[in-house]
Structure 1
């Protein structure tokens, strides 16, 4: 997640954005901050983020009767065939809050603790699907926290911390097939900044990549950017990031800004936003094998395919590479895009196979690109609070307006059955009462059975098809009330407690 102090358009600085998100612990502000969306004809300059709580756009929050969970309202449209699965986002509301939702925007799982989290997605651990995310606090442009792994009942099965006295950063929590996790780290260190006009005895955020054994916590790899990448490769000026000019450890300069790590055979692909470069890192020697983009690129690319301030670099099984091109500071029309590249056999030339743009979306920070199982491509626009699904040829077929910015956005198939019981509540309505039922995170509920009685154990009074995150049923007045969640075969998945109306 990233945006620095910008040009004459005066867009929101990266650090102001994160501080304003509520991810700084006690410094939570009341307002939610995100880029606003106007009509397709509106200029990029009108769709900018705001740095002050008084002028910040406020999300429309959905509330429910059976639970006190809330979530920003999501709207969507669909004009074509989309891939299977649910959508996974982290909407910003006094922090980044996790949401699994259907295409319609209807919630499936609302992270119940309102923890600050990023990178909510489905991964595989020990051969099983798991839900993963980073959670912690922001220290301005990066984070200090841990990775979390939940099973399909939303039970925590692992917490992953960085090693060697360092903290895992918010940008990446990537599981490998070997039972390890790749994380990014930001650590303030003394550094010579004279190559970019700074102090010889200055300070820098030295970005690390660590590989951690999930089961033991052992550090299997700890790679340091400062040992391999000259500071002069940065495009960020010392005066562009307010309060971080490198003069003290507390004002460490963010020369690299790692935001993605991807396995690639015996190398790691690392995205450094502030050098506009993707680095291929040799796992054994730690050497940089090649650079894609930036001032010292080893890979040629056409002028119209140059990316800047990029995010979410991924290598795919067919050899292609995708990334999210924020394009901030680039001097172009200011439109972000998902990009898919093909590299030639000796990886010296890259050809842009497809760019994914729509409605002049401009995510000045964050953003993601996911190639889906059917060939469609899902693009999360970061600070422009939307997610769009495209066909492989670049036609937009689905879009959701999220009501709050999301670091990344994903689509995954996910089947879950919580260990919690369903929630139930009642409200008087006319001469009777309405019973409300929900079960946060359950994916297999087809219908609800409603039970009520004046005395004794509740008995069946009605059964209706699930109609959303919360389903209701109108019945006569009763004293004892409960509900049962049913699957597609009519089998009871779980029962609520009995409450007194």
Structure 2
């Protein structure tokens, strides 16, 4: 299936992929996958036609009549029963841009400001569902910004910043049921790098984990990797990350690269990509209870279950641990996979219960694994711009090819109604006019009613079932028009401003 695919450059660092919120050096890599990704040979049903490619090789962006919003095209296929819910991705255009979509690729919410954001997902805050993300500046392999919490009207209700005069990193914004947020932070520190052949008076990115009280901003925990993890545990060579060999503060060495923090009882699970290790951290003392993976693993693992450069480590209620294994080889070969492990009672041995691979997907960086409510597993392939849903047993049953790489990808149930008005526009077609309607972020619109006027009060001239992000209806020409969004019971959910034709 992939015999005609070009070699994939697996030595790209995160720094080469994320700089200043835009893609550097990976555009060709991402574009290749649009032309070469296959679908299963048996009973594949295409939900959307393949979009025409632009001059860059990427699918052309979708634009609309009723709104100035635009979004990269998404294509998909489906062969089985998927979990309920919408898909949440952050496709990289000029920065990472937020998108909630239906599984056929049809947009539901296009983040309207084009803010650079990552980790768009649904979480719970104060007992209610909320939409959360990190936003800020991508500074090369990490970020400086803050976390944002929106309610079901897309109104910001909280912003979470790092404490102790530091900046929240783009990798993690994880809410707890105690009203706190777990975040990662990158800060330059002086350090001895002689253990890996570097300068004795060198510079390193010290990765912090902070727990912040959302309501007050108080720092409840501030853990430093440099205080607890020897730099010699890194697998990253001093010359692998160009310009960051640790000789200057501006070229600090990224020994750890923390990218996930997960609650685990009285401990935290912390993922360090560059040490290939998951650390169990005692919340009270900050000490490492055990290491899973890497050079000093306390947990035995079969050779075929060894992971490398991992992302998105999560502990589940049944005790299992999932992660995204980027699994880069030193050359141009490799295949990423989602992995699900069980640990024995003493947590000294791990068993690979299931792996999730499909079509030789290789995400050189980023990526995610989400266990869904029906037992299915959703894998986001990071720098390989696709997201695949598997059965619990590992069979691929759904895939979307994205219009750009996505740091993580999720599926969530989400019901929302914006405080904004619906959008409307009209175009004259002979003695009639076509009226277009959309409402960014609304999830419960079932149909649209068109009202027009030519001097008097607006009167209803037609209704049409919602057919996507934007719906249109041909009606008699008039001087003005208004659209009304209708719910399943026929009630009016929102009314647009009047537009002149």
TM over 0.5: yes
Residue aligning to 1:339:
339
Residue aligning to 1:307:
307
Q: Is the 8 A contact 1:168 1:185 kept in 2?
A: yes
Residue aligning to 2:375:
375
Question: Secondary structure at the residue paired with 1:313?
Answer: strand
Supply the distance in 2 between the matched residues of 1:11 and 1:293 (Cα, whole angstroms). Answer: 21
Residue aligning to 1:479:
479
Q: Please state how far the C-alpha of 1:480 moved relative to its aligned partner.
A: 1.2
Q: Please state how far the C-alpha of 1:9 moved relative to its aligned partner.
A: 3.8
Runs of at least 4 residues of structure 1 off by over 6 A? none
Supply the distance in 2 between the matched residues of 1:58 and 1:395 (Cα, whole angstroms). Answer: 28
Residue aligning to 1:494:
494
Residue aligning to 1:94:
94
Q: Is the 8 A contact 1:32 1:404 kept in 2?
A: no
Residue aligning to 2:364:
364
Supply the distance in 1 between the matched residues of 2:362 and 2:195 (Cα, whole angstroms). Answer: 32
Q: Is the 8 A contact 2:21 2:137 kept in 1?
A: no
Residue aligning to 1:36:
32
Residue aligning to 2:355:
355
Residue aligning to 1:72:
72
Supply the distance in 1 between the matched residues of 2:237 and 2:56 (Cα, whole angstroms). Answer: 28
Q: Which moved more, 1:325-334 or 1:353-362?
A: 325-334
Question: Secondary structure at the residue paired with 2:118?
Answer: strand
Q: Which runs of 5+ in 1 are unaligned?
A: 1-6, 43-53
Q: How many residues align?
A: 480
CA RMSD of aligned residues (A): 2.0
Residue aligning to 1:202:
202
Residues 256, 170 of structure 1: alpha-carbon distance in 2 compared, 3 angstrom cutoff: same
Partner deviation per Cα, 1:19-56 (whole Å, 9 max, x = no partner)? 27528xxxx99x797353143689xxxxxxxxxxx996
Supply the distance in 2 between the matched residues of 1:351 and 1:332 (Cα, whole angstroms). Answer: 28
Residue aligning to 1:47:
none
Q: Please state how far the C-alpha of 1:331 moved relative to its aligned partner.
A: 6.8
Supply the distance in 1 between the matched residues of 2:126 and 2:31 (Cα, whole angstroms). Answer: 39
Q: Which moved more, 1:281-290 or 1:422-431?
A: 422-431
Supply the distance in 2 between the matched residues of 1:391 and 1:86 (Cα, whole angstroms). Answer: 17
Q: Which runs of 5+ in 2 are unaligned?
A: 1-6, 40-53
Confirm whether residue 163 of structure 1 aligns to residue 163 of structure 2. yes
Supply the distance in 2 between the matched residues of 1:41 and 1:162 (Cα, whole angstroms). Answer: 43
Q: Is the 8 A contact 2:10 2:331 kept in 1?
A: no
Residue aligning to 2:113:
113
Residue aligning to 2:329:
329
Supply the distance in 2 between the matched residues of 1:96 and 1:33 (Cα, whole angstroms). Answer: 17
Residue aligning to 1:281:
281
Question: Secondary structure at the residue paired with 1:36?
Answer: helix
Supply the distance in 1 between the matched residues of 2:37 and 2:163 (Cα, whole angstroms). Answer: 47
Supply the distance in 1 between the matched residues of 2:439 and 2:225 (Cα, whole angstroms). Answer: 45
Q: Please state how far the C-alpha of 1:453 moved relative to its aligned partner.
A: 1.7
Supply the distance in 2 between the matched residues of 1:180 and 1:287 (Cα, whole angstroms). Answer: 21
Question: Secondary structure at the residue paired with 1:199?
Answer: coil
Residues 10, 130 of structure 1: alpha-carbon distance in 2 compared, 3 angstrom cutoff: closer
Instruction: Write out aligned runs for 1:164-183 (5 A).
Output: 164-183=164-183
Question: Secondary structure at the residue paired with 2:22?
Answer: coil
Q: Please state how far the C-alpha of 1:303 moved relative to its aligned partner.
A: 0.3
TM-score between the two structures when normalised by the length of structure 2: 0.93
Q: Please state how far the C-alpha of 1:247 moved relative to its aligned partner.
A: 0.3
Instruction: Write out aligned runs for 1:227-238 (5 A).
Output: 227-238=227-238
Instruction: Write out aligned runs for 1:57-68 (5 A).
Output: 57-68=57-68
Q: Is the 8 A contact 1:308 1:330 kept in 2?
A: no
Question: Secondary structure at the residue paired with 2:407?
Answer: coil
Supply the distance in 2 between the matched residues of 1:135 and 1:154 (Cα, whole angstroms). Answer: 15
